Amino acid sequence: MIRFDNVTKLYGRDTVALERVNLEIDPGEFVFLVGASGSGKSTLVRLILKEMEPSRGAIYVRGVRLSSIPRRQIPRLRRDIGCVFQDFKLLPNKTAAENVAYAMEVTGQKRRAIRTKVPQILDLVGLSGQMAKYPRELSGGEQQRVSVARAFVSQPRILIADEPTGNLDPETSVGIMNLLQRINRIGTTVLVATHDREMVDVMRKRVVALEGGRVVRDMVKGAYADEV
Amino acid sequence: MRFNPVFFLKEALRNIRLNLLMSITAVTTTFVCVLVLGAALLVSGHVEGIIGSVRQDVSVEAFFAPDATQERIGEVRTQVEGYPEVSGATYISQEQALADFKDTFRDNPEIYQDLGSDVLPASLAIQIEDPSDAEAVAGKLKSAGFSAENLSYPQQTIERLNSVTSYMIWGLRAATALFLVSSVLLISNAIRLSIFARRQEIEVMKLVGASDGFVRTPFVLEGLLQSLVGATFAALLVVWFNYLFVDWVGNVLPFVPIASSAVNTFFVLVILMAVGAAIGVLGSFLSVTRFLRV
């Protein structure tokens, strides 16, 4: 589903963000990407979204080499990848429902489809009562659930979450993680970059650990640190 | 992909409503710039009108010999009217010439007391389209049998008038162009500011998978609406002011040759609105594009 082939990413001339990363994520997997701040997690996520190009090596998403995708085709790639961010990245001038609807509108879906799908998905994330509220009127956890709903509404094959619980308290974080797990259960490949140790230890999923831009550990049913 | 124009229009209107202060800034900037531009157009229109009316008064006069027959006069007249430079010719008979003379000196009747009706020659007053052609027309008349003494045209006046007016007209056009350039810069800057404030929104839209066109369309529509509103108000004000001005000059300074025909108000209206709209579209298009590289 996602493959990194000897990928190196430099910022400027000699700041190494990722070094010779090899990684293969299969369809339907749930993968934690762990590591301290600056270990390269976000760089890895941004490379998958083709927000930037690797300095060396190749990245494949669903078998397509990203460097072969022209700029104009990037939106198409991103519609196949749902995205959840630490800072939610909701559109401030749109209500919860409109934020979710926007992700469907960009793909040119029919208005009737949007009108039926959006309430369903917001119900799924437990926000059916907050549909008409603006992001500033919602709590952090609620905003993140809107963001998950938006990422998932066009049923992408891949869902990437970059520190989805970074701004949330532990209880709220559990809710978000459960949501991601449910999305994974219906066949979506989920990649979560996080440094939320407890969460990773509890969930017992595949863990890929980054350190200084290198993959230092890759374990099925792993934990945040070795000794657990 | 299917584009829904209603969706884009709704987005644009909502953006205007939510960023009201920025929208008002953009509208006001366009209004002021188009107003100044319109004023420049009016001034140059009226000055060119005055210059034109002064130049139109330039004519070549050809005097006929006393023994010229009516056939000869008619012949010359038809010939002259056929010259491409000539816009019209008026025949002034001996009687008419004397009457004009008497009228000019009506306060000193002793001057013309003893004049017989055939003292002044009959003549042809020839109006020319472009005063610089006076020399050429005179040349043609010479080859048609008129001697230099029988032709009268204010050569020096024409030459001076020509050099002064062409400088003035070019100066005015340069000033108008300068106004145009500075309004383009000011308006697109106002639009750029309002888009800069929302660059993060644009980034999010791109990350959700919106194409460049999908993100850009509401912004461009917004820019178009804003600048069109500002430009329309300014253009209407300019045209209204022009009517007042022409009216006022006609009453207070009737000898100044300002005519409402010097400025084509419909043309001014269309030009100003088109300039406003074009700047709005172009400004927002370019500003959004800067933030689309996500």
Taking only the tens place, the pLDDT of each residue in B220-279 is 998 899 889 999 999 999 999 998 988 888 888 777 777 777 778 888 899 899 988 888
3-class DSSP state of B94: helix
Taking only the tens place, the pLDDT of each residue in A92-143 is 889 999 999 998 888 888 888 899 999 999 998 889 889 999 999 999 989 9
Name the strand (E) or helix (H) holding B135: helix B134-143
Instruction: Give the integer Cα–Cα distance in Å for A11 and B148.
Output: 87
Instruction: Give the integer Cα–Cα distance in Å for A178 and A29.
Output: 15
Distances (CA, A) of B209 to A27, A151, A156, B77, B251: 21, 10, 11, 78, 65
| Per-residue pLDDT of chain B in tens (294 residues, 90 and over written 9) | 456 788 888 888 888 888 888 888 888 988 988 898 888 888 888 887 877 777 666 778 888 887 778 888 888 888 888 888 787 888 888 888 888 888 777 777 777 777 777 778 888 888 877 767 777 788 887 877 777 777 777 666 666 777 777 788 788 778 878 887 887 787 778 778 878 878 888 888 888 888 888 889 988 998 899 889 999 999 999 999 998 988 888 888 777 777 777 778 888 899 899 988 888 888 888 888 888 876
Q: Does B78 touch chain A (CB under 8 A)?
A: no
CB-CB under 8 Å, B208 with A102: yes
Nearest-Cα distance to chain B for A73, in Å, is 8
A residues 93-132 closer than 8 Å to B (CB)? 93, 102-103, 105-108, 110-111
Name the strand (E) or helix (H) holding A20: strand A15-25
- A12 exposure class (CB count in 10 Å sphere: 0-12, 13-18, 19+): exposed
Q: Does this complex have an ipTM over 0.85?
A: no
Q: Does A51 touch chain B (CB under 8 A)?
A: yes
Distances (CA, A) of B180 to B174, B184, B191, B230, B272: 10, 6, 16, 15, 10
B residues 181-210 closer than 8 Å to A (CB)? 201, 203-210
The letter for the amino acid at B160 is R
Task: Report the sign of the C-alpha dihedral through residues B101, B107, B109, B111, in that order.
Answer: negative
Collect all residues of chain B within an 8 Å Cβ-Cβ radius of residue A92: 201
| pLDDT for B1 | 47
Q: What is the DSSP letter of B108?
A: -
Question: What is the chain A residue with the closest CA to B207?
Answer: A78
Pairing of strands A56-61, A2-11: antiparallel
Instruction: Give the integer Cα–Cα distance in Å for A170 and A177.
Output: 10
The letter for the amino acid at B99 is A
Question: What is the chain A residue with the closest CA to B210?
Answer: A106
Which strand ranges, in their side-by-side order, compose the sheet holding A158-162?
A: A81-85, A158-162, A189-194, A30-34, A206-211, A214-219
Instruction: Give the integer Cα–Cα distance in Å for A118 and A93.
Output: 17
Instruction: Give the integer Cα–Cα distance in Å for A62 and B233.
Output: 55
Q: Indicate yes or no: pTM above 0.80.
A: no
Which parts of chain A have pLDDT scores under 70? 226-228
3-class DSSP state of B86: strand
Instruction: Give the integer Cα–Cα distance in Å for B75 and B83.
Output: 13
| pLDDT for B155 | 65
Q: What is the DSSP letter of B195?
A: H
